[in-house]
């Protein structure tokens, strides 16, 4: 689909991924509306030219107003903090589950949902493909898994929808002082200021880090297919891993960052945190074969860009 002139809603558009997506859509000529309650998002992230509705997706009136006349909805809004979901499961259920179900059931245009690798829980095999057992740990993973499953159960008479299972997304705009930030932004902020780098465990745990620009490209490809082909799209009622398939250990990450930053930051190993998954590596073959998508930003290049911005 050509995005020029299309009316696109981005829920959570003042957040890290949502703001990058909004900026890209705007550059493609789309009319972008963002709904965000700013509990985790930042208005300064939202590019000029985007219409902003400050409100929570749990408010049906605000949500209905935001969804009106949309040609596509990218649903990224969520309580993404695992500790917050555990501390207040009733509220996270309203945001992450009930509001998401309302969007899927009432939208009259394609919905692209930000699912999560958290739905897989502790991996039983690596790399993780979309057929891996779904055994989430905690409320956040369970809520994401429920919406993911709802989308995959949709039939030919429903709203066109797809679920994209994000692995460890990183890039410019993650706030290292926020509990919602990824570990890379935290490491870089501390390394460039001479701060202590804390690693929980032995540092040999692996993660699949994917740059936000590659995530945005995947969102747009799936969104275009749903908008063009509706329920006939191969993306409809389906889920896709968004990952590189190239896992790295946290020790390797620290080595790369340290090699590009002047000075030395002490590395401190702390006890492993309960519930942390030891190894995570995704398989994005399904998305690659369906939409000819490829992750284009290597971790070394992505880190180098972040470090240069931090200096």
For 266-285, the pLDDT digits (tens) are 999 999 877 778 889 999 99
What pLDDT score was predicted for residue 31? 98
For residue 111, give the H/E element and its range: strand 111-116
What pLDDT score was predicted for residue 166? 97
Phi, psi of 51 (to 5 degrees): -80, 135
Check whether 87 has a pLDDT greater than 70: yes
Check whether 95 has a pLDDT greater than 70: yes
Burial label, 306 (beta-carbon count in 10 A; 0-12, 13-18, 19+)? buried
Per-residue pLDDT tens for 103-159?
A: 999 999 999 999 999 999 999 999 999 999 999 989 999 999 999 999 999 999 999
- Domains in the chain, CATH or no CATH each: 7-169+209-242 (3.40.50.720), 171-207+246-276+297-310 (3.90.25.10)
The share of the chain scoring above pLDDT 70, in percent, equals 98
What pLDDT score was predicted for residue 1? 72
- 111-139 exposure pattern, b = at least 16 Cβ within 10 A, e = fewer: bbbbbbbbbbbebeeebbebebebebbbb
Exposure of 254 in the CB half-sphere (CA atoms within 13 A): 21
What pLDDT score was predicted for residue 222? 98
Query: Mean pLDDT of all residues in the chain?
Result: 94
What pLDDT score was predicted for residue 151? 98
Higher-pLDDT residue of 73 and 256 is 73
Check whether 179 has a pLDDT greater than 60: no
Per-residue pLDDT tens for 180-213?
A: 568 898 999 999 988 999 999 999 999 999 999 9
What pLDDT score was predicted for residue 60? 94
Phi-psi label, residue 275: left if phi above 0, alpha if psi -120 to 50, beta otherwise: left
Check whether 287 has a pLDDT greater than 90: yes
Per-residue pLDDT tens for 144-164?
A: 999 999 999 999 999 999 999
pLDDT band at 178 (very low <50, low <70, confident <90, very high): low
Check whether 165 has a pLDDT greater than 70: yes
Q: Would you say 154 and 237 are in contact if contact means Cβ atoms under 8 Å apart?
A: yes
Q: Would you say 102 and 138 are in contact if contact means Cβ atoms under 8 Å apart?
A: no
Angle between helices 212-229 and 16-27 (to 10 degrees): 60
Per-residue pLDDT tens for 41-86?
A: 889 999 999 999 999 999 999 999 999 999 999 999 999 888 899 9
What pLDDT score was predicted for residue 181? 62
Check whether 24 has a pLDDT greater than 70: yes
Q: Which residues contact 61 (CB under 8 A, 6 or more apart)?
A: none
Strands, E, within 14-97: which ranges? 31-36, 51-54, 72-75
14-29 average pLDDT score: 97
Check whether 263 has a pLDDT greater than 80: no
Higher-pLDDT residue of 230 and 278 is 230
What pLDDT score was predicted for residue 168? 93
Dist. CA 4–CA 149, nearest whole Å: 32
């Amino acid at each position: 689909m050509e995005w020029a002139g299309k009316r696109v809603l981005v829920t959570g558009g003042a957040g890290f991924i949502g703001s990058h997506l909004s900026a890209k859509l705007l550059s493609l000529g789309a009319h972008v509306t963002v709904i965000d309650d700013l509990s985790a998002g930042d208005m300064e992230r939202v590019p000029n030219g985007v219409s902003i509705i400050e409100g929570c997706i749990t408010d049906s009136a605000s949500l209905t107003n935001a969804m009106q006349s949309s040609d596509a909805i990218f649903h990224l809004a969520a309580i993404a903090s695992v500790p917050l979901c555990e501390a207040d499961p009733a509220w996270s259920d309203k945001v992450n589950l009930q509001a998401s179900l309302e969007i899927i059931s009432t939208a009259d245009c394609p919905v692209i949902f930000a699912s999560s690798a958290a739905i897989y829980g502790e991996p039983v095999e690596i790399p993780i493909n979309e057929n891996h057992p779904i055994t989430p740990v905690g409320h956040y993973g369970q809520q994401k898994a429920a919406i993911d499953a709802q989308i995959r159960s949709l039939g030919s008479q429903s709203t066109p929808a797809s679920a994209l299972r994000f692995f460890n997304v990183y890039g410019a705009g993650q706030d290292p002082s926020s509990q919602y930030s990824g570990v890379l932004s935290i490491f870089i902020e501390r390394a460039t200021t001479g701060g202590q780098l804390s690693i929980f465990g032995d540092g040999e745990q692996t993660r699949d880090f994917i740059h936000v620009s590659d995530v945005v490209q995947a969102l747009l490809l799936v969104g275009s297919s749903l908008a063009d082909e509706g329920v006939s799209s191969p993306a409809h009622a389906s889920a896709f891993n968004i990952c590189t398939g190239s896992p790295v250990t946290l020790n390797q990450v620290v080595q790369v960052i340290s090699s590009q930053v002047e000075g030395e930051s002490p590395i401190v190993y702390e006890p492993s945190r309960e519930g942390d998954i030891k190894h995570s590596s995704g398989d994005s073959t399904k998305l690659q074969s369906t939409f000819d998508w490829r992750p284009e930003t290597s971790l070394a290049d992505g880190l180098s860009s972040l470090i240069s911005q931090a200096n």
